[in-house]
Amino acid sequence: MINLLPPNLTANKGLAKIQKTMKTVTLVSVVVFIVFGLGVLGFFILGSLQLGNINSRQEALKAGIKQRETTEQRLVLLKDRIAKIKVAKSQDSSQEELEAIDQILGLTGEAASVSELSFDATKADLSLVFRDSSQLGVFLKALASASPFETVILKTFGFSPTAGYLLGLSMSGAKL
């Protein structure tokens, strides 16, 4: 190295040593800073890749959960339907009572008119109006000889000059 400065302007030896040490420390600090910067950059790249993988797994899990929710909803609805079917099957049917009432109404022919009819799975209530007593007698004989019910109770019996004979029956235990 060529020193063009006069010797009296040169730095003393202690200062030169400090200057040399500072250059080395600065160079090492720059290298450490670059390595640290590359490490941070690598960390961010690796973190973003992992975040992308986590997001894709999360979306897959969400889709799986949604599919399981719809499957579970279908299963709950199916169980509910099965329970309702079991309840419907366990209830008594009124079909037999309805057929027995139809037979009784067949016994009346056109001689009587129905004023009231109610029935359920265990019993039936029927109110009839007959115009004359002979029609009433024929109906009662036919009912006594061929009743489609096990029990027939005469609940009301009355006469009205304008309507005729009023007959109220309560029947239970269809024998069909």
Q: Which residue has the higher pLDDT, 119 or 81?
A: 81
63: its two tokens? 């889709």
Q: What pLDDT is stored for residue 11 in this prediction?
A: 65
Look up tokens 């039936």; give the residue: 124
b/e 7-27 (16+ beta carbons within 10 angstroms → b)? eeeeeeeeeeeeeeeeeeeee
pLDDT band, residue 9 (cuts 50/70/90): low
Taking all residues of the chain, what is their mean pLDDT, rounded to a whole number?
87
- Per residue in 15-45, pLDDT (tens digit) is 878 989 999 999 999 999 999 999 999 999 9
User: Sign (positive/negative) of CA torsion 14, 15, 16, 20?
Assistant: positive
Q: Tell me the pTM.
A: 0.47
Query: How big is the CA angle at 146 (ends 108 and 151), to the nearest 5 degrees?
Result: 95
Average pLDDT over residues 92-116: 79
